Structure 1
Amino acid sequence: MSKPVFRFAPSPNGHLHLGHALSALLNARAAVALGGRLLVRVEDIDQTRCTPELERDMFQDLAWLGLRWEQPVVRQSDCFAFYREALERLQDTGLVYPAYLTRAEIKTFVSDREAEGASWPRDPDGAPLYPGDAAVLIEEKRERRAASGASFALRLDMKKAQERIGKQLFWEELGAEGPALFEPARKIAVDASAWGDVVLARKDTPTSYHLSVVVDDARQGITDVLRGQDLYHATSVHRVLQELLALPVPRYRHHRLILGDDGRKLSKSNSDTSLRSLRAAGMTHAQLRKRIGL
């Protein structure tokens, strides 16, 4: 049996915080406990916010945590051709369509419906599901935007995608830390319809998180995806894409989140929880492990 392969995949668009430390250390611990390997992947699709300086700081933080990973490190910015190929394969199935509504138009449309007393479905992250261009724009306006080269998003027609698959999908969910690492997997049913027609790419960006993550995990031979509970529901979207692209399916492990004093998930904008600021304030590695429950 081949060794399990884990990955820690941060984005250098801000400084790592306590939540990243928990995820990185849990991946490292699981790899050791299960006799596996650990990879680091740099998710730097956003070339505006992701900078070489932040990437340098990120690796310094990981080194301070005591993390050890295999080389070479894969950067998503070097893999656009692979995402483009996967996107073209999906487009060839007829399941992908250009969507021209702006975020403001979607917000206004949904707000108007809710003001009238109607409810509008929202995805697990709380964003309203895409209503479709035809619900907002008359045909003439839709044609005009397409002809003018206006910005658009490429969306997956989720209903048609599930009809093409024609069966109920599942994923294996296992524990993320401690004895739970060795417990039997639970079979989780996919509910991708809760996400509606997700974005796969945009006019000026050849991929989205959903598309790139399944392509990257397959290319790197990731067998175990250990990540935060905030991405638990997104696994349904990833399973649909894996099925459509005939990609291997890793096991999934979703760990607890580190929350701020306000009860919300930590953000890179909260500098008081960044590893660099905590280290500068004198926090030791042992104190950090205790703070995050390790």
Structure 2
Amino acid sequence: MDIGAGAREVDNAMPVFRFAPSPNGELHLGHAYSALLNHRLARDNQGKFLLRLEDIDLARCSLAYEEQIVEDLRFLGVDWDEGRRRQSEHFERYAEALDVLKHDSLVYPSFMTRGEVRRTAERFEEETAEPWPHDPDGVPLYPGLDRSLSEAERDERIAAGERFAWRLDTSAALALHPDLTWYEGGEGPNGETGTVPADPSAWGDFILARHDIPTSYHLAVVVDDALQGVTDVVRGRDLFFSTSAHRLLQALLGLPAPRYHHHDLILGDDGRKLSKSARDTSIRSLRAAGMTREDIVRLVGLEGLV
């Protein structure tokens, strides 16, 4: 990977990379690949390597998993600069970003549950025999029904204790930033590379915060990348399409755009992306089976790091 290629949109002389796992399960081979790759790129380019714990889901994340992640990374020979950043300790930062979007009338409270959105999509398909649009993750797009509620009705429902989520008014946001791109140093699922046009509309009015989690992955990751001065985001190809949503939020919040590099995924024997539930591919279980760091490095195809 040549981090000097492409138009640089970040004003930072030192390259900064990061590895950002969620401490809601054990690291597997896919995580090992991404951590080792980011670490080597940072060291080879005299840059920084940061460890961030994306633990906004307090119900599923735990300090026990975090310590296991730290232990596995040290086993792999991965060290990091600065202290660990836990997203759960910075909710106020994400709230500040959300307040900016509220002030600009770019977000609104949505009271429809995921189940209601799914049932709306199913009814539409039954009645029309036409497909309901889905986001890149395969989730039915939100129909936007709450976008037209009056401010008085919104306030009344919130005061009554109804649960809601803050959604981005993507159409209004795109009217302000219609032609976004990013620099892709890797390759997308369809061979996309170089300057890639962003398509945030593929996500519809995506969620920025929930009643029980005061931020979302999309909002937290762009705020953190900016605050930590991340210049190069190197991550799995499964997050390629998320970059469109991230570019829109960066533009709305006036944040710099890192360079992106989406790498191959480590797949299981069934050809699917590895899951934390598949314990046989976890670093912990491989260590218990007697594998060395060198064995795992070779297993993920990074023999040059041995």
Identity %: 56
Aligned to 1:173: 184
> How far apart in 1 are the matches of 2:75 and 2:281?
15
Equivalent residue in structure 1 for 2:136, among 109, 118, 124? 124
Aligned to 1:148: 160
Alignment of 1:89-104 (within 5 A): 89-104=100-115
Contact residue 100 and residue 133 of structure 1 kept, 8 A = no
Equivalent residue in structure 2 for 1:257, among 265, 288, 295? 265
Equivalent residue in structure 1 for 2:117, among 95, 100, 106? 106
Contact residue 109 and residue 146 of structure 2 kept, 8 A = no
Secondary structure (helix, strand or coil) at the match of 2:70 reads: helix
TM-score, normalisation: structure 1: 0.91
1:194 positional shift: 0.6
Equivalent residue in structure 2 for 1:269, among 277, 282, 288? 277
* Structure 1 residue ranges (4+ consecutive) displaced by more than 3 angstroms after TM superposition: 141-147
Equivalent residue in structure 1 for 2:175, among 163, 168, 179? 163
Equivalent residue in structure 2 for 1:5, among 8, 13, 16? 16
Aligned to 2:27: 16
1:30 positional shift: 1.1
For 1:22-72, what per-residue CA distance to the aligned partner results, in whole angstroms no more than 9, with x for missing partners?
000010111122221111111111111111111111100000010011121
Contact residue 109 and residue 154 of structure 2 kept, 8 A = no
> How far apart in 2 are the matches of 1:217 and 1:133?
32
> How far apart in 2 are the matches of 1:148 and 1:262?
48
For 1:241-279, what per-residue CA distance to the aligned partner results, in whole angstroms no more than 9, with x for missing partners?
000000011110111001112221111111111100111
Alignment of 1:181-196 (within 5 A): 186-196=194-204
- What one-letter code is carried by the residue in structure 2 that aligns with 1:127? V
TM-score, normalisation: structure 2: 0.88
Secondary structure (helix, strand or coil) at the match of 2:167 reads: strand
> How far apart in 2 are the matches of 1:159 and 1:269?
37
Secondary structure (helix, strand or coil) at the match of 1:200 reads: strand
1:175 positional shift: 3.5
Aligned to 1:38: 49
In the alignment, does 2:293 pair up with 1:282?
Answer: no
**Structure 1 stretches lacking a partner, 5+ long:** 177-184
Secondary structure (helix, strand or coil) at the match of 1:49 reads: coil
Secondary structure (helix, strand or coil) at the match of 1:241 reads: helix
For 1:158-183, what per-residue CA distance to the aligned partner results, in whole angstroms no more than 9, with x for missing partners?
01100022x4011111149xxxxxxx
- Flag the 1:143–1:221 CA change in 2: closer, same or farther, 3 A: closer
- What one-letter code is carried by the residue in structure 2 that aligns with 1:7? R
> How far apart in 1 are the matches of 2:237 and 2:282?
20
> How far apart in 2 are the matches of 1:39 and 1:14?
20
Segment of structure 1 superposing worse, 20-29 or 257-266: 257-266
Provide the aligned C-alpha RMSD in A: 2.2
> How far apart in 2 are the matches of 1:198 and 1:108?
18
- What one-letter code is carried by the residue in structure 1 that aligns with 2:78? L
**Structure 2 stretches lacking a partner, 5+ long:** 1-11, 188-192
Secondary structure (helix, strand or coil) at the match of 2:36 reads: helix
> How far apart in 2 are the matches of 1:120 and 1:230?
22
Secondary structure (helix, strand or coil) at the match of 1:205 reads: coil
For 1:105-142, what per-residue CA distance to the aligned partner results, in whole angstroms no more than 9, with x for missing partners?
1111111112231211111111111012359x9xxx98
Equivalent residue in structure 1 for 2:222, among 209, 214, 218? 214
> How far apart in 1 are the matches of 2:182 and 2:146?
34
> How far apart in 2 are the matches of 1:264 and 1:152?
33
